[in-house]
């Protein structure tokens, strides 16, 4: 074989191989794909960061408080006709602010003008904000159930003891139950139930505002002060 190679080199004959050569595609497509995967991977790591999760929780809780406050102050009406003096409201003719004029029919069929304070006008159905809050509180209830069943205790008794041993869990349970009680009372065809529902939801809103202290406890400047206040 060496003699053949020498003869080819002497006569200038090149050893040519005409077999097809395979190429591996590692060009623009793979480069773009790797960059896209890296970009979305960075976004996913950013969304899973503890600080970002804390901000999500804070902003969602603030939106919940704003929506709940708007409902209680501006858009909470009965679903039936109730007496003007039911909820301890004074029927002072000199105070005409926040009142609306409506027409009520008496037994003889004649129309009488009556002044009904704002907030006691009959509406056909609950506001859309109430349904949103109902779904929202239901998701919070699911989260509390997840925390309860994911506890490290083995027996149910120990789970209950460990769960209710935390003050904020107690506050969450009371706030959630009070919301359901208020929502159920406002659906009953009774003026007293509507007034009780408004009181229950107002107290419930106060509890949700108190729940904000636990969120602010993670802040560097407020956290130690809140702990000291709690220990006093």
- For the stretch 114-150, pLDDT in tens is 566 666 777 788 889 999 999 999 999 999 999 998 8
Both 129 and 91 in one domain: the answer is: no
Rg value, the chain, Cα: 35
What is the band of 202 on the pLDDT scale with cuts at 50, 70, 90?
Answer: very high
Residues 72, 157 share a domain: yes
* Of 61, 92, 121, the domain-final residue: 121
- Quote the pTM value: 0.70
Structural domain tally of the chain?
A: 2
The tokens describing 65, both together, are 């408080």
Residues 179, 95 share a domain = no
Q: Is residue 5 part of a domain?
A: no
Same domain as 97, residue 108: yes
Residue 220 domain flag: yes
Mean per-residue pLDDT for 62-83? 89
80 contact partners, CB below 8 Å, separation of at least 6:
122, 189, 191, 194
Nearest partner of 204 among 229, 191, 185, judged by Cα: 185
> 129 and 155, same structural domain?
yes
- For residues 108 and 197, state if they share a domain: no
Q: For the chain, how many helices (H) and strands (E)?
A: 8, 2
Whether residue 105 sits in one domain with residue 60: no
CB-based contacts of 160: which residues, under 8 Å, 6+ apart? 148
- Residue 23 within any structural domain of the chain: no
* Residue 3 within a domain: no
Give the phi and the psi of residue 157 in degrees, each rounded to 5. Answer: -65, -45
- Establish if 24 belongs to a structural domain: no
Distance in angstroms (rounded) separating the CA atoms of residues 213 and 63 = 16
Burial label for 136, CB within 10 Å (0-12, 13-18, 19+), is: middle
Q: Are residues 190 and 143 in the same domain?
A: yes
Domain range for 152: 51-82+124-231
Name the nearest CA neighbour of 69 among 212, 190, 189, 181: 212
Q: Which residues contact 184 (CB under 8 A, 6 or more apart)?
A: 197
**Does the pLDDT at position 21 exceed 60?**
no
Q: Give me the chain's average pLDDT, please.
A: 79
**Cα 181 → chain centroid:** 20
**Among 17-21, 43-47, 171-175, the least confident range:** 17-21
Look at residue 179 and tell me if it is in a domain: yes
Is residue 9 situated within a structural domain?
Answer: no
**Pair 181, 110 in one domain:** no
127 neighbors 76 (Cβ within 8 angstroms): yes
pLDDT at 105: 42
Asked if residues 64 and 208 have their Cβ atoms less than 8 Å apart, the reply is: yes
Asked if pLDDT for residue 57 goes beyond 80, the answer is yes
**107 and 145 belong to one structural domain:** no
- Same domain for 145 and 216, yes or no, is yes
């Amino acid at each position: 074989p060496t003699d053949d190679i020498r003869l080819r080199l002497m006569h200038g004959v090149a050893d040519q191989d005409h077999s097809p050569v395979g190429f591996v595609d590692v060009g623009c497509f793979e480069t773009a794909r790797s960059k896209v995967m890296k970009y979305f991977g960075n976004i996913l790591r950013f969304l899973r960061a503890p600080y970002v999760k804390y901000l999500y929780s804070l902003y969602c809780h603030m939106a919940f408080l704003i929506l709940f406050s708007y409902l209680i102050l501006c858009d909470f009406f009965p679903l039936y006709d109730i007496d003007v003096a039911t909820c301890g409201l004074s029927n002072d003719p000199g105070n005409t602010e926040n009142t609306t004029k409506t027409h009520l029919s008496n037994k003889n069929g004649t129309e009488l003008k009556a002044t009904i304070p704002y907030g006691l006008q009959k509406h056909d159905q609950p506001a859309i904000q109430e349904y949103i809050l109902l779904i929202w509180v239901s998701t919070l209830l699911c989260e509390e159930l997840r925390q309860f069943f994911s506890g490290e205790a083995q027996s149910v008794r120990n789970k209950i003891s460990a769960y209710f041993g935390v003050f904020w869990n107690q506050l969450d349970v009371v706030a959630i139950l009070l919301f359901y009680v208020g929502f159920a009372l406002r659906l009953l065809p009774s003026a007293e139930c509507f007034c009780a529902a408004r009181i229950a939801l107002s107290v419930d809103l106060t509890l949700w505002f108190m729940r904000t202290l636990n969120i602010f406890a993670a802040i560097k400047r407020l956290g130690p002060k809140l702990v000291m206040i709690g220990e006093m």
